[in-house]
Amino acid sequence: MTRHALVTGAGSGIGKAIALRLAADGHIVSLAGRRAAPLEAVRGDILAAGGQAFVRDGFDVTNPQAVEQGITAAIAEAGEIAVLVNCAGEAPSAPFEKTDFALWQRVLSINLTGVYLVTQAALASVRRAGNGRIVNVASTAGLTGYAYVSAYCASKHGVIGLTRALALELARTDVTVNAVCPGFTDTPLIDGALDTISEKTGRSREEARASLARSNPQGRLVTPEEVAHTVSWLVSEKATAITGQAIAVAGGEVLGG
């Protein structure tokens, strides 16, 4: 049976890779994000491959009204949401002493409160769909600490805490809740980190990229597709007993979860 998956932050990077993977698995995918153009491009790729997808632009995860409207429209268009993937996020960097309240509030609002708002709006539908799956894209920053991204680390630790709490609340239902925790991943999001490293250290972007790759014991950046394959498994029937977990996709950088 074809199932409906909604992916936030689906226009690029890890969200795009997840959307493509789920479509290839046979899901109808609602592509949620703020801007239409990148979502339409992803939809084009899905349609070209023989899949089904709908665009839900104007989906601002920090805006409760926009989230409610987007979820309602997605259900009307593609049926109950059986799979919810929260992937929208951002990762600005700054020393803690220069992390002003506006930066702190923005990062927490997108990365953590956004997961809360979208999940709360979609949960009734996920339960109605049966055998529901919720996957939150966190980060190794939710399992350990990194300098100069205190707001990001705090937000991702919060995502993992929320994941575990909700998993326990829903343990006696047929809904599972898990987090995936990518390490440094080769996406557009990492470009900002490379710019910051280059600016602060005087190293080239290539040198900055190499320094990030060295944090992975495998000596490389993770690919978005590797994260997407992990999500694909978590939402499958083979992962029914997996809930409340924070699975690192990081080449051994972080051990345990």
CA distance 188 to 27: 25
Looking at residue 171, its pLDDT comes to 97
Looking at residue 93, its pLDDT comes to 86
- The question of whether 152 is a catalytic residue gets the answer yes
Pairing of strands 246-249, 28-32: unpaired
Asked whether residue 255 is domain-assigned, the answer is no
CA distance 149 to 135: 23
Asked whether residue 97 is domain-assigned, the answer is yes
Both tokens of 222, joined, read 């993770």
Q: How many structural domains is the chain composed of?
A: 1
Asked whether residue 230 is domain-assigned, the answer is yes
Both tokens of 65, joined, read 């009204």
The number of beta carbons lying within 10 Å of the beta carbon of residue 29 is 30
Looking at residue 155, its pLDDT comes to 98
Asked whether residue 194 is domain-assigned, the answer is yes
pLDDT at 40 over 80: yes
> At 194, is the pLDDT very low, low, confident or very high (cuts 50, 70, 90)?
low
Looking at residue 212, its pLDDT comes to 67
Asked whether residue 197 is domain-assigned, the answer is yes
Asked whether residue 254 is domain-assigned, the answer is no
Looking at residue 222, its pLDDT comes to 86
Q: Range with the lowest mean pLDDT among 35-39, 67-71, 151-155, 197-201?
A: 197-201
- Residue 23, H or E segment: helix 13-24
Looking at residue 157, its pLDDT comes to 98
Looking at residue 255, its pLDDT comes to 77
CATH number, domain of 186, equals: 3.40.50.720
pLDDT at 210 over 70: no
Percentage of the chain lying above the pLDDT 90 cut: 78
Amino acid at 177: V
CA distance 11 to 224: 13
Task: Provide the domain limits for residue 43.
Answer: 4-249
Q: Range with the lowest mean pLDDT among 90-99, 124-133, 185-194?
A: 185-194
- Which whole number is the average pLDDT over 43-52? 98
Asked whether residue 256 is domain-assigned, the answer is no
116, 146, 148, 152: the catalytic one is 152
Contact indicator for 58, 35 with CB cutoff of 8 Å:
no
Q: What is the pTM of this model?
A: 0.91
pLDDT at 257 over 60: no
Strand partners, 178: 135
Both tokens of 207, joined, read 């040198």
pLDDT at 163 over 60: yes
Q: What angle do CA 112, 30, 23 make, to 5 degrees?
A: 110
Asked whether residue 174 is domain-assigned, the answer is yes
Contact indicator for 61, 136 with CB cutoff of 8 Å:
no
Looking at residue 220, its pLDDT comes to 79
